[in-house]
Structure 1
Amino acid sequence: MLSTRRAARRRAATAGSLIAGALAAGLVAPAQTASATGAGEGSAVRIHDIQGTTRVSPLAGTQVHDVPGVVTAVRSFGSSRGFWFQDPHPDADRATSEAVFVFTGTTTPAVAVGDAVLVSATVTEYYPGGAAAGLQSVTELTKATWTVQSSGNALPAPVRLRPSSVPARYAPDAKGGSIEKLPLRPDRYALDFYESLEGMRVQVDDATVVGPTNEHHELWVTADPRHDRTPRGGTLYTSYRDPNPARVKVASLVPFAQHPFPVANVGDRLTGTTAGPLDYDNYGGYTLQATELGTLADRGLKRETTRRQKSDELAVATYNVENLSPKAPQAKFDRLAAALVTNLASPDVVALEEVQDNNGTTDDGTVDASVTLKKLTDAIAAAGGPAYQWRQIDPVNDQDGGQPGGNIRTAFLFNPARVSFKDIPGGDATTPVTVRREGGKATLSASPGRVAPGDAAWKTSRKPLAGQFSFRGRDVFVVANHFNSKGGDQGLDSRFQPPARPSETQRVQQARLVNTFVKQLLAADKHANVIVAGDLNDYQFSPALAALTDGGVLTDQVNTLPVCERYGYVYQGNSQVLDHILTSRALKRVDYDIVHINAEFADQASDHDPQVLRWKP
């Protein structure tokens, strides 16, 4: 450790001497409000001098002249056009990148791959999403001019991403502070490793897809497909300590008319070589901007179908239907219906999340969702399913979060041929449901009713919906939930490490309220049959789930599955848990299944996989 620090001081001292000489020679010109703190060897500044040994360029804010390199890629579309160029004569320091992006705005640069260029520009640190977003910066050259010295030059060999090259540790621990001024340690931390390659050509061979192609023509691969592998080929997110460092996003610099972007599912492979400069953005961090894309090998991923419940089993499901409103195409309703009837085998009760009002995001005061729910239940009937009925409570306009004007809420569907709903009047958007004891049993003051809707924990968030059902003579209390989202949290690749998760505070508060409500049910009847289900927007190992299960009153059924199967959502290449079904102690003979039909596929009816619990009283 001491030797590393001394070496860093020596490099800083040398850099200071060099920049002084470069300034005197006129090779580097300071900007009006910046000072130069580092430079390269010889008669000109090199790219590795610009990039430096930390995340922020030692030359940020200065003008550099005649920086040499070879053009490795051109971005010729969009509002962030420009080109990457790389020094074919690297230094011996692994911490310094040998490439940088030249930003030309909306103008396509007049260069070609293989051009040897001399670039004069201002060194800039660009923060995707703005500095307040908490992400890392990208070192760029702006206001650039250049001369082409020759064309058709060979490109520097790409750095291969392999299991052995990506460090297992993800990021240095700065106790929540910024890591951008820490010396890069690419042999120790994955984020440092990627930063040391910023802008450089990288390559991944026979890449396994761990995040399906999205609407922006992006997908996620891993350079270490054996690490935390799921049975269906994904990468499992098991703890905050291990965010699966080998994940990298892949986009394409090749016009789609020349090479359509592959439509890939989790578990597919890009065979051969996928290569290009390593970029960074605010939609997933480090991104391989492919100039060469591997060939898609379809691994034939199939959508799962759960078994049908037996006549003496109650089946309860949860399904986030992702901003469902009458404005959605009929095809979406049909696909959701087919999934409920076929893949979920027509559950007796379904807790729905993200049901929007009758005109979707039109913000005109409409809160009724009867058209949305009728359109869904009609589609289910047309698909051969039950004649589902529904119960729900309209929210106060614009008070439950989600898409503005959409008034999303939770709702129940139920099959009256199999289960009955105990309608108890009194439930509305603002009246809290309470627990009563009648005849030695627990009952609700209102069914459906909302749990503590006036509590500050539910500000701009969906309120839980409690319903009292009866199956084969037994009361069953189901609480449908949709906790607040992770919006506002710092990303895994944030420059602040470990990243802050401020949204977690509200989810913990929400979890405590639901936990308290369950305890009230159990206080009225310790044998009460309680099922808590929904999109909790948090992991099975999170503080929110710890608060929800506090006191052992609920069992998170996710934890009863084999570890490799604990996921139902895929985000940035991480297969993870956001949705849950939890049960009280009285529900002993249960069978639980996460039904993988959406999250791993490029073609989705929703971004969440549904879940189903079967209980035999």
Structure 2
Amino acid sequence: MSIHDVQGSGSVSPFLGQLVQLDTSVVTFANSEFAYIQDAEGDGDPNTSEGLLIDDGNTFQLVPGDRVLISGQVQELSGQTALGASVTINKLSSGTPLTPVAFDPGTSLVNGASPLERFEGMLLNFSVTAASGSDDFNSVDVHVTSVDRPFREPGLLPPGLPDLPVFDGNPELMNYDPNGLGQSNFIFHNAGDVIEGTGILEQFSFGYELSPIEPTTVELVEPTRPVRARTDDEITVASLNTLFLRNDESDYGLRLNKIVAYIGEQLHFPDVLAIQETGGSDEIEDLIFRLRQLDPELGDYQGFAPPDEGFLNVAYLVHNRIDPPAFTELGSNEFCSCGGFLHNRPPLLVELNVPGDESTTLRVLNLHIRSLNGVDDDVEVRIRRNEQAISIANMVENLRDENLVVVGDYNAFQFTDGYVDVFNQISGLPSLGAQFPVEEIVNPPLVNAAASLPEEEQYSFVFQGSAQQLDHCLHNELSGLTVNEFAFARGNSDASINYANNAFQLARASDHDGFVLYLGIDELSSTKNTNTRNLTSLRFVNPSPAGAEIQFYNLPADAIVTLTDVLGRELVLAGLQSSSAGGSSHSENGSFLLPQNLIPGSYRLTVRSGSRLLSSQQILINH
């Protein structure tokens, strides 16, 4: 019997539980616990796998290239077809070459099974693109490079509900484990990295996993991308989920520093910053203190958090160039039909006069809606999310007589999740339907600022490899203000989680990307005063090889760039005219090269203008 007969064309072997004798096959991987074998000829049917797991615990005598005759009982181990009992192995010869199969599964189900099933257990030549950063286990969600990045789509996972959209779960996604089959580990993958090599596709209870069996080639991408600085005739409104920024957490100091750097260097010190997931007033005061240390002028903020603080709260930072605003907590006394207060994080409203045009006012409503956790199993979660959305929709309708921007972590997609369409209940935009139908409250509908972006940019979070937008910005028809731009500051959702504990790396300050809405002040725009104070930024792939290029932007003419090792010793940078160790002057934009003789390890790039620190980032040299 051939391997493809045992595998069949579905997700379960047609010979499950039976003893089978396999035809001659070739070992593709082996260790002391298990091995993979493959039919060298195949049946020509692209819908059946030619690879098989031998889960015997007695495979230490095998090496790749061995020709073997194997018999045993067919089992399904966490979804993977295998011979796992009563196994006998007869080695015939060694050194048989086997050409890996090109891996291109597509995105559609095959005979009701995942498109990956037909490659289960096979030796593959692969080119995959990371759809997420490295996780806590140093593995990465990936898809083959030939298909587009997977995004969350409307609806419920199968089987769904009648007459409502169904989300297929993006079956083209799989896990990639750099050292799953004994290769060296790599813990700094970011979404967009391209990984090429030879490996085997396995299946576990959590899904399919691709692991290399020899060294790979990797094209790394830089996960951070800041937004632009505002011009003098603009006011900026931003939002950021700060991911459990509480002073009773053991890593609070580290997290605080990373959030401050993100606000300054990635969001470019927005005028109004709506914050979600912070502890409260103490944490806001700490942010203000550190931002003023970073830049006394640009970081000069006032802040507000609700006095009746819960475990996690919404809050504001408002730049002091704006006259003292008014803050109001809304809906704090509303009750849910399923019991208790409706809003455990009540929406927070700020009302302010636009700088430079005191006759124009702006209202910003900061939201952090109940999460999707438990929504599939607990109807009370759906009830609360639906009633919160209806409550907020009524707030919006009552506030829209003046300029209104509604921002925050909606914990909802820009379309229905199948149970509740939170976003379109609040926005008044058309809905594809939900178990809890949208009520007509907001009319006319608000404008979705993110809709101005290319589709591939409409995300703020990545969950199980599917990019999705949970953080939103809605606004009404504005008076005295013009929407100039909307942009996400990248570096959190796409970055390796292993950057989170790195105090000198901008990436992974949170798990959400923040955004900025640029509003032109019509009264000032008529003067065409568009001066911008641009902030210095350094761009490089991290980790980098010795000799890598470092790009810089908006470097003042008197700036000094230094590279130091872990002992604080300054090193000369290749390509820089140095007046002191590691120092040089530049202006505007350009690049320089790291020294070729750097040994692998951790270094710090620092940019100063006089006594003022402009940028300080850690760079890892990997070879």
457-466 or 562-571: bigger deviation: 457-466
1:195 maps to amino acid: E
369-378 or 451-460: bigger deviation: 451-460
Partner of 1:549: 427
| Preserved contact between residue 317 and residue 349 of structure 1 (Cα < 8 Å) | yes
597-606 or 583-592: bigger deviation: 583-592
1:161 maps to amino acid: F
The DSSP-based 3-state class of the residue aligned with 1:345 is coil
Q: Which has the higher strand share?
A: 2
1:391 maps to amino acid: A
Question: Deviation at 1:291?
Answer: 0.8
Cα distance, 1:486–1:59 mapped onto 2, change above 3 Å: farther
Return the alpha-carbon distance in structure 1 between the equivalents of residues 15 and 411 of structure 2: 42
Cα distance, 1:350–1:103 mapped onto 2, change above 3 Å: farther
Return the alpha-carbon distance in structure 1 between the equivalents of residues 364 and 397 of structure 2: 13
Q: Do structure 1's residue 307 and structure 2's residue 307 form an aligned pair?
A: no
Question: Deviation at 1:247?
Answer: 4.4
| Preserved contact between residue 558 and residue 580 of structure 1 (Cα < 8 Å) | yes
Partner of 1:583: 475
Q: Which has the higher helix share?
A: 1
Return the alpha-carbon distance in structure 2 between the equivalents of residues 219 and 533 of structure 1: 30
Q: Do structure 1's residue 598 and structure 2's residue 506 form an aligned pair?
A: no
Cα distance, 1:466–1:576 mapped onto 2, change above 3 Å: same
| Preserved contact between residue 145 and residue 194 of structure 2 (Cα < 8 Å) | no
| Preserved contact between residue 51 and residue 121 of structure 2 (Cα < 8 Å) | yes
The DSSP-based 3-state class of the residue aligned with 1:480 is strand
| Preserved contact between residue 419 and residue 469 of structure 1 (Cα < 8 Å) | no
Question: Deviation at 1:460?
Answer: 10
Partner of 1:341: 264
Question: Deviation at 1:277?
Answer: 1.5
Question: Deviation at 1:606?
Answer: 1.7
| Preserved contact between residue 567 and residue 575 of structure 1 (Cα < 8 Å) | yes
1:73 maps to amino acid: F
1:597 maps to amino acid: G
| Preserved contact between residue 419 and residue 470 of structure 1 (Cα < 8 Å) | yes
Partner of 1:91: 43
| Preserved contact between residue 315 and residue 348 of structure 2 (Cα < 8 Å) | no
Return the alpha-carbon distance in structure 2 between the equivalents of residues 87 and 458 of structure 1: 62
1:298 maps to amino acid: L
Partner of 2:178: 252
Partner of 2:255: 332
The DSSP-based 3-state class of the residue aligned with 1:196 is helix
Return the alpha-carbon distance in structure 2 between the equivalents of residues 458 and 351 of structure 1: 26
1:390 maps to amino acid: F
Partner of 2:569: none
Aligned match for 1:354, one of 251, 272, 277: 277
What CA deviation, in whole Å up to 9, does each residue of 1:254-313 have, x standing for no partner? 677x6342733333333xx42222123455x332121134212335x3632223334554
The DSSP-based 3-state class of the residue aligned with 1:342 is helix
Partner of 1:510: 385
Q: Number of residues paired by the alignment?
A: 471
Partner of 1:82: 34
Cα distance, 1:521–1:49 mapped onto 2, change above 3 Å: closer
Cα distance, 1:72–1:144 mapped onto 2, change above 3 Å: farther
Query: CA RMSD for the aligned pairs?
Result: 3.7
Aligned match for 1:197, one of 114, 119, 124: 119
Q: Do structure 1's residue 138 and structure 2's residue 89 form an aligned pair?
A: no
Aligned match for 2:11, one of 55, 58, 63: 55
The DSSP-based 3-state class of the residue aligned with 1:211 is coil
1:338 maps to amino acid: A
Question: Deviation at 1:245?
Answer: 6.0
Partner of 1:389: 303
Partner of 2:216: 294
Partner of 1:269: 194
The DSSP-based 3-state class of the residue aligned with 1:389 is strand
Length-normalised TM-score, structure 2: 0.65
Partner of 1:152: 94
| Preserved contact between residue 123 and residue 140 of structure 1 (Cα < 8 Å) | yes
The DSSP-based 3-state class of the residue aligned with 1:303 is coil
2:423 maps to amino acid: L
Q: Do structure 1's residue 71 and structure 2's residue 27 form an aligned pair?
A: yes
List alignment gaps of at least 5 residues for structure 1.
1-39, 41-45, 128-136, 172-183, 229-233, 358-368, 397-406, 428-432, 435-449, 490-500
Return the alpha-carbon distance in structure 2 between the equivalents of residues 462 and 245 of structure 1: 35
Aligned match for 1:463, one of 340, 345, 351: 345
Partner of 1:445: none
| Preserved contact between residue 412 and residue 423 of structure 2 (Cα < 8 Å) | yes
Cα distance, 1:150–1:564 mapped onto 2, change above 3 Å: same
Partner of 2:581: none
What CA deviation, in whole Å up to 9, does each residue of 1:137-188 have, x standing for no partner? 32233345443414534354322124xxx345x33xxxxxxxxxxxx53xxx
| Preserved contact between residue 277 and residue 290 of structure 1 (Cα < 8 Å) | yes
| Preserved contact between residue 461 and residue 467 of structure 2 (Cα < 8 Å) | yes
Q: Do structure 1's residue 539 and structure 2's residue 413 form an aligned pair?
A: yes
Return the alpha-carbon distance in structure 1 between the equivalents of residues 294 and 368 of structure 2: 27
| Preserved contact between residue 451 and residue 466 of structure 1 (Cα < 8 Å) | no
The DSSP-based 3-state class of the residue aligned with 1:414 is strand
Q: Do structure 1's residue 522 and structure 2's residue 478 form an aligned pair?
A: no
1:292 maps to amino acid: E
List alignment gaps of at least 5 residues for structure 2.
156-166, 429-442, 500-507, 522-623
| Preserved contact between residue 400 and residue 476 of structure 2 (Cα < 8 Å) | no
Partner of 2:288: 377
What CA deviation, in whole Å up to 9, does each residue of 1:454-474 have, x standing for no partner? 454999985342223222355
Question: Deviation at 1:320?
Answer: 1.7
Cα distance, 1:486–1:65 mapped onto 2, change above 3 Å: farther
| Preserved contact between residue 305 and residue 313 of structure 2 (Cα < 8 Å) | no
Return the alpha-carbon distance in structure 1 between the equivalents of residues 491 and 303 of structure 2: 24
2:54 maps to amino acid: V
Partner of 2:600: none
